[in-house]
Structure 1
Amino acid sequence: MSTATYTVTGMTCQHCVASVTEEVGELDGVTGVEVDLPTGAVTVTSDAPVADDAVRSAVEEAGYQLA
């Protein structure tokens, strides 16, 4: 089990949270995504470490940026 936390900028509402959760959650091996809207913290839990570039791409696909 692996856990990594990222900071995402640009999220302002629950729709933002849902978009990021959905995109990151579709990455191979990801078993959980928790988003804290006030801080922008996104915690990704996975079977094995997920490449930072893959998380960045998923966040950008959702319309946001990693800080």
Structure 2
Amino acid sequence: MERRTISVTGMSCNGCEQNVESALQNIEGVTRVEADRGGDTVEIVTEDDVADDDIEAAIENAGYDVAT
């Protein structure tokens, strides 16, 4: 298992948090997701083989930006 904290911009409400969480939960190997719009972060727990590119793509396809 791997725990990651990702900076995400553009979340402004509970619905935004839910959108990001739903997008990430659809990735195979993701076991836990918690978005925090106040901290502009998403904490994600994954199997070791989930690619960063897949995570970033899911967030961006949901309409939010990954801060680097």
* Matches of 2:2 and 2:32, distance apart in 1: 10
Give TM-score, length-normalised by structure 2.
0.91
Q: Shift in Å at residue 46 of structure 1?
A: 1.3
Aligned residue-pair number? 67
* Matches of 1:37 and 1:50, distance apart in 2: 23
After superposition, residues 1-67 of structure 1 pair within 5 angstroms as: 1-67=1-67
Q: Which runs of 5+ in 1 are unaligned?
A: none
Letter in 2 for 1:14: N
Q: Shift in Å at residue 47 of structure 1?
A: 2.1
Give TM-score, length-normalised by structure 1.
0.92
**Deviation beyond 4 Å, 4+ runs, structure 1:** none
Q: Shift in Å at residue 33 of structure 1?
A: 0.2
Q: Shift in Å at residue 55 of structure 1?
A: 0.8
Q: Output the aligned Cα RMSD.
A: 0.9
Q: Shift in Å at residue 52 of structure 1?
A: 1.2
Work out the percentage of aligned pairs sharing the same amino acid.
39
